[in-house]
Amino acid sequence: MFSSLLFAGILIFVVASKYLYKPTPRCPECHTPQDGDYPICECGYVFEFPDEDDDPIEYGDPNDAL
């Protein structure tokens, strides 16, 4: 009886910790965690933040910079 309660408690703890854990976004290139609301990583990777309208961020036409 005690072992089944212990198993149930461990199972509940594992499932709860899986769904309650919120990892910080990490850079896919250098794997450093994102620093607050700063959108650019140390290596130059740009974190994209979702807008309210769920449209992708547009950086402009690269040919316009020439």
pLDDT reported for residue 15? 94
In a domain, 5, yes or no: no
Greater confidence, 27 or 6? Answer: 6
| Residue 30: inside a domain | yes
Distance CA 21, CA 43 (A): 26
- The tokens for 28 are 């896919």
- Does the structure show a pLDDT above 80 at 9? yes
Instruction: Tell me the residue range of the domain where 31 lies.
Output: 22-57
Q: Is residue 11 part of a domain?
A: no
**Is 7 domain-assigned?**
no
Q: How many separate domains does the chain show?
A: 1
Q: What DSSP string runs through 36-59?
A: TT--B-TTSPBPP---TT-PPPP-
Residue 45 lies in a domain: yes
What is the pLDDT, as a whole number, of residue 31?
A: 85
The pTM for the full model equals 0.42
Please check whether residue 27 lies inside any domain of the structure. yes
How do residues 11-66 score in pLDDT, each as one tens digit?
999 999 988 888 888 888 888 888 777 778 888 888 776 555 666 666 666 676 55
